[in-house]
């Protein structure tokens, strides 16, 4: 089989290990598009849970990504932050085909070349470099969180957790007129938050009573802080996902007296009050438009080669302290592993 008919992808054969594998690549048929990958991104929180085999069996179906192959806990091919360039179309009408050379985003695993339906890719808007476009899935999550939150003008907003999603949520909230946004994370450097124009604190400021709280730390202790800082009738939007970890919360004390609401937010579903007008494609287009903000480049804390991805993923899953988005650079298509 020639290299043109072969792709190289990252697989997790079993929890705690990763490897590159070659696999057949079909030619694009009718309604399909062939893409060569330029960059992908590691969604450290979710992909660490997948790498360690910590997806609960009850969530196997819910946690499937669009082009996943295999099954949890492994062997599985996983990932959803891919930016590439169109190499060919499969017999589409001229008015529907993407021009060869068009740069696109796709919710596809880590793989150097792939063939998908035309509807599965979105062309990058003018002004969005492909290096930054790998954040599109994270931005979609942030957009959905704001929709679930129903924030208002002038709200006092607390974001607990300064990871990629938490910082994107805070950045979007800060652009709403009159809001005061405080981000809390005891381990995050103030440099990144400063580059985004955000107020980062190691702890919740004394006396801060939030109208709205987003929890995005992935740590149960952070959700306790979110409850403590919420004002009367406030809403706490839970953006973190804990995998198979149990979470204990103090729902006695003032929880009922303050009539607090905890609302989960998950990017797989569009909020009910928007479903009549929005679909996943329209939401992804919005996310790509919002990524034209060049200050968001501060969210990248590292970049490495696709050929080193098995080692890189294992390292980040073992100790990801200080890491935000780690970008994977592809360059030329990879030769099949021996």
Residues 33 and 128 in one domain: yes
Under 8 Å between Cβ of 119 and 281? yes
- Of 245-249, 263-267, 282-286, the least confident: 245-249
Residues 70 and 150 in one domain: no
Residue 276 confidence class, pLDDT cut points 50, 70, 90: very high
Mean pLDDT over 168-174 rounds to: 97
User: Residue for token digits 């450097």?
Assistant: 189
State the Cα angle at 85 between 84 and 89, rounded to 5°: 120
What is the per-residue pLDDT for 19? 98
**SS3 track for 19-39:** EEEEEECCCCCCCEEEEEEEE
**What residues contact 95, with CB distance under 8 A and at least 6 apart?**
none
State the Cα angle at 194 between 191 and 197, rounded to 5°: 160
Average model confidence (pLDDT) for the chain? Answer: 91
Residues 223 and 244 in one domain: yes
What is the per-residue pLDDT for 247? 80
What is the per-residue pLDDT for 43? 84
**338 within domain boundaries:** no
Mean pLDDT over 95-121 rounds to: 92
What is the per-residue pLDDT for 126? 95
What is the per-residue pLDDT for 2? 35
Domain boundary among 258, 273, 288: 273
What is the per-residue pLDDT for 3? 41
**Is pLDDT larger for residue 214 or for residue 258?**
214
- Of 122-126, 251-255, 279-283, the least confident: 251-255
Split into its structural domains, the chain has a count of 2
In 3D space, the residue among 111, 39, 116, 118 whose CA is nearest the CA of residue 78 turns out to be 111
Name the helix (H) or strand (E) containing 71: none
Compute CA distances 15 → 12, 66, 151, 317, whole Å: 7, 21, 39, 11
Question: Two tokens at 174?
Answer: 């800060």
pLDDT tens digits, one per residue of 53-102: 999 998 899 889 999 999 999 999 999 999 999 999 986 665 567 899 99
CATH number at residue 156: 3.40.50.720
**288 within domain boundaries:** no
High-pLDDT (> 70) share of the chain, %: 95
**149 within domain boundaries:** yes
- Is the pLDDT at 110 greater than 50? The verdict is yes
Distance of CA 276 to the CA centre of its chain: 24
Residues 57 and 129 in one domain: yes
pLDDT tens digits, one per residue of 228-240: 899 899 999 999 8
pLDDT tens digits, one per residue of 121-147: 999 999 999 999 999 999 999 999 999
pLDDT tens digits, one per residue of 303-317: 999 999 999 999 999
**251 within domain boundaries:** yes
Residues 230 and 215 in one domain: yes
What is the per-residue pLDDT for 222? 85
What is the per-residue pLDDT for 94? 56
Residue 196 confidence class, pLDDT cut points 50, 70, 90: very high
Task: Name the CA radius of gyration of the chain, rounded.
Answer: 20
Reported pTM: 0.91
| Domain carrying residue 212 | 139-273
Residues 7 and 86 in one domain: yes
Under 8 Å between Cβ of 232 and 259? yes
What is the per-residue pLDDT for 244? 73
Residues 62 and 86 in one domain: yes
pLDDT tens digits, one per residue of 5-46: 999 999 999 999 999 999 999 999 989 999 999 999 998 888
Residues 61 and 157 in one domain: no
Residues 116 and 156 in one domain: no
**281 within domain boundaries:** no
Residues 302 and 314 in one domain: yes
**286 within domain boundaries:** no
What is the per-residue pLDDT for 134? 98
Residues 187 and 260 in one domain: yes
**What residues contact 61, with CB distance under 8 A and at least 6 apart?**
none
What is the per-residue pLDDT for 332? 62
- Is the pLDDT at 177 greater than 60? The verdict is yes
**337 within domain boundaries:** no
- Is the pLDDT at 106 greater than 70? The verdict is yes
- Is the pLDDT at 253 greater than 90? The verdict is no
Residues 265 and 144 in one domain: yes
What is the per-residue pLDDT for 1? 29
What is the per-residue pLDDT for 308? 97
What is the per-residue pLDDT for 207? 87
**21 within domain boundaries:** yes
CATH number at residue 302: 3.90.180.10
């Amino acid at each position: 089989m020639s290299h043109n008919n072969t792709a190289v992808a990252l697989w997790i054969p079993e929890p705690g290990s990763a490897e590159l594998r070659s696999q057949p690549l079909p030619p694009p048929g009718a309604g399909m598009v062939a893409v060569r990958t330029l960059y992908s991104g590691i969604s450290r929180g979710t992909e660490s849970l997948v790498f360690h085999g910590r997806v609960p069996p009850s969530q196997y179906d819910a946690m499937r990504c669009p082009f996943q192959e295999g099954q949890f806990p492994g062997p599985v091919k996983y990932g959803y932050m891919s930016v590439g360039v169109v190499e060919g179309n499969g017999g589409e009408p001229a008015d529907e085909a993407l021009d060869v050379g068009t740069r696109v985003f796709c919710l596809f695993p880590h793989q150097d070349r792939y063939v998908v339906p035309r509807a599965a890719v979105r062309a990058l808007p003018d002004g969005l470099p492909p290096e930054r476009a790998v954040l599109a899935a994270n931005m979609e999550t942030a957009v959905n969180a704001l929709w679930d939150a129903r924030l208002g003008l002038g709200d006092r907003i607390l974001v607990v957790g300064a990871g990629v999603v938490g910082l994107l949520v805070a950045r979007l909230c800060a652009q709403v007129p009159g809001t005061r946004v405080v981000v809390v994370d005891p381990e995050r450097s103030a440099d990144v938050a400063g580059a985004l124009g955000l107020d980062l604190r190691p702890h919740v400021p004394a006396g801060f009573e939030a109208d709205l709280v987003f929890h995005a730390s992935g740590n149960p202790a952070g959700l306790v802080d979110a409850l403590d800082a919420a004002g009367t009738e406030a809403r706490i939007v839970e953006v973190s996902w804990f995998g198979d970890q149990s979470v204990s919360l103090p729902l006695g004390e003032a929880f009922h007296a303050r009539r607090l609401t905890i609302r989960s937010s998950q990017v797989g579903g569009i909020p009910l009050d928007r479903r009549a007008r929005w679909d996943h494609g329209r939401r992804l287009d919005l996310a790509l438009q919002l990524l034209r903000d060049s200050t968001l480049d501060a969210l990248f804390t590292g970049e490495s080669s696709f050929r080193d991805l098995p080692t890189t993923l294992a390292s980040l899953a073992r100790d990801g302290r200080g890491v935000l988005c780690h970008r994977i650079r592809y360059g030329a298509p990879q030769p099949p592993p021996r």
